[in-house]
A and B are shown apart, each in its own frame.
Chain A
Amino acid sequence: MYKKKWIAYVMIIPMLVFLSVFLLYPFWVNIKNSFYKFESMLDKNPVFIGLDNYKTMFTDKVFLGSFINTLILIGLVLIFQVGIALILALLVNSITKFSSFFKVTFFMPIVVSATALGLMFNLFYDYNYGMFNQILLIIGREKIFWKDPQNLNRLFTLIVSPVIWQYIGFYFVIFLTGLSGLSKEILDAAEIDGCSGLQKVRYIQIPMIKNITRIVIVLGITGTLKVFDLPYIISPNGYPNGKTHFLGTYMYDKAFNSVDIGYAAGFAVFIVIAGILFSFISNMIFRQDHDL
Chain B
Amino acid sequence: MRKLLSLVLFSLFVIMIAGCGKGDVEIKTMSMFGGTDPHAETYEALLAAFEKKHDVTITDNSATSDEIWKTSVLTAFYSGVEPDVLFYFTGEVAKPLVTNDYVVSIEEIRKEYPDYAKNISDSVMDPYAVPLKGFVEGVFVNTELFTDDLAPYLEKDVWTWDDYHEIANKLIAKNITPFAFGATDVPHYWIEHTVLGILGPTAFTDIKGSIENHENEWVKALKLINYFAEQGWYGPTKGNQEHSAAEATFKDGKAAMILDGSWLAGSFDETTTVKASKMIMMPFPAIPTSKGGKNEIYMQSGFTSGFYISRKAWEDKSKRDLAVKLVESMINTEAIKDFCKSGGIPADPKVEIPNQNNLQVSMNSMPAKTVSATLPLSDSAKAGSFTELVKAANYYITGNDTGIKAALDAFLEKQ
Contacts and interface: CB of A to CB of B under 8 A. Distances in A.
A42 B236 contact: no
Contacts of A129: 248
Given A41-B78, A237-B391, A258-B387, A149 B240 contact: yes
A132 interface: no
A126 interface: yes
B38 interface: no
A240 B394 contact: yes
A120 interface: no
Contact of B384 (A40, A127, A242): A40
A128 B240 contact: no
A264 to B, nearest CB: 11
A40 B67 contact: no
Interface string A231-243: 0000111111110
A147 B240 contact: yes
B245 A122 contact: yes
A14 B74 CA distance: 30
A31 B169 CA distance: 56
Nearest to A130: B245
Contacts of B68: 256
A260 B75 CA distance: 15
5 contacts: A41-B74, A41-B78, A127-B241, A235-B184, A258-B388
B393 A259 contact: no
Contact of A237 (B236, B252, B390): B390
Interface in B46-89: 67-68, 71, 74-75, 77-78
A129 B241 CA distance: 12
Max chain A C-beta neighbours (<10 A), residue from B68, B97, B384: B384
A145 B236 contact: yes
B248 to A, nearest CB: 7
Nearest to B243: A236
A127 B248 contact: no
Q: Which 7 A-B pairs have the closest CB atoms?
A: A259-B384, A240-B394, A42-B96, A257-B387, A236-B185, A239-B184, A41-B74
A219 B63 CA distance: 34
Nearest to B384: A259
Contacts of B75: 41
Given A129-B248, A259-B384, A237 B185 contact: yes
B408 to A, nearest CB: 14
Interface string B220-252: 000000000000000011001110010011001
B383 A241 contact: no
A253 B100 contact: no
Nearest to A233: B242
Interface size class of A (residues with CB under 8 A): 20 to 34
A40 B236 contact: no
Contact of A44 (B100, B384, B390): B100
B394 A149 contact: yes
A236 B384 contact: no
Contact of B96 (A41, A143, A239): A41
A237 B388 CA distance: 10
A148 interface: yes
Interface of B: 67-68, 71, 74-75, 77-78, 95-97, 100, 184-185, 236-237, 240-242, 245, 248-249, 252, 254, 383-384, 387-388, 390-395, 403
A209 B390 CA distance: 48
B390 A240 contact: no
B71 A256 contact: yes
A256 B97 CA distance: 17
Given A42-B74, A122-B242, A236-B242, A127 B403 contact: no
Contacts of B71: 41, 256, 259
A118 to B, nearest CB: 11
A127 B237 contact: yes
B237 A40 contact: no
A253 B240 contact: no
A270 B185 CA distance: 27
Interface in A140-183: 143, 145, 147-149
B184 to A, nearest CB: 5
Contacts of B387: 253, 257-258
B74 A257 contact: no
Nearest to B245: A126
A40 B390 CA distance: 19
Contacts of A253: 387, 391
Nearest to A155: B240
Nearest to B183: A239
B393 A42 contact: no
B184 A241 contact: no
A53 to B, nearest CB: 15
Nearest to B184: A239
B77 A258 contact: no
Contacts of B403: 241
Contacts of A258: 384, 387-388
Nearest to A234: B242
Contact of B393 (A41, A127, A145, A239): A239
Contact of B392 (A127, A148, A241, A257): A241
Contacts of B184: 235-237, 239
B130 to A, nearest CB: 22
Contacts of B185: 236-237, 239
Given A126-B245, A237-B393, 9 more contacts: A42-B77, A128-B249, A236-B185, A241-B394, A241-B395, A253-B391, A257-B67, A259-B71, A259-B383
Contacts of B245: 122, 126-128
Contacts of B242: 122, 236
B78 A239 contact: no
Contacts of A44: 100
